[in-house]
Amino acid sequence: MINPYVTALEVAIAIIIAIFAWYAISLFRKKPVTGSESLIDAKGVVHSDELAPDGEVSINGVIWRAHLVDPTGGQLKKGDPIIVRKIEELTLMVEKSP
């Protein structure tokens, strides 16, 4: 005869293992949160008076040197939203955020 308590315990353990496996797999899919890779696609604002094509931007309260990816598109004023497209050494290559 099958003990119902043992079956319930087995089901509970299987559910816990499934939840743990789902959580572990989701950790591998996350974007890096440190290093220069974490800045790609980050959004911020122009910090210097203008960004034409060089200047400073603020991302999460940190001020970075920046260069416009397409300088022919015009200049950006202080407070305009930007998005980081790539990084060259310590300079962020940015464009206007839609």
Which residue, among 91, 75, 49, 65, has the nearest Cα to 57 in the 3D structure? 65
pTM: 0.65
Residues 42 and 83 in one domain: yes
Q: How many domains does one find in the chain?
A: 2
- Whether residue 1 has pLDDT greater than 70: no
- Whether residue 2 has pLDDT greater than 80: no
**Mean of the pLDDT values across residues 16-23?**
96
Residues 46 and 83 in one domain: yes
The confidence score (pLDDT) of residue 64 equals 95
Distance CA 86, CA 53 (A): 15
Which comes out higher in pLDDT, residue 38 or 96? 96
Residues 43 and 26 in one domain: no
Which comes out higher in pLDDT, residue 36 or 92? 92
Domain that holds residue 11: 1-30
Question: How many beta carbons lie within 10 A of that of residue 22, not counting itself?
Answer: 9
Residues 48 and 8 in one domain: no
Residues 63 and 19 in one domain: no
Which residue, among 32, 31, 30, 56, has the nearest Cα to 44 in the 3D structure? 56
Which residue, among 46, 30, 29, has the nearest Cα to 38 in the 3D structure? 30
Q: Each residue of 33-76: pLDDT tens digit?
A: 777 788 899 999 999 999 988 999 999 899 999 999 988 878 89
Structure tokens at 81: 């939203």
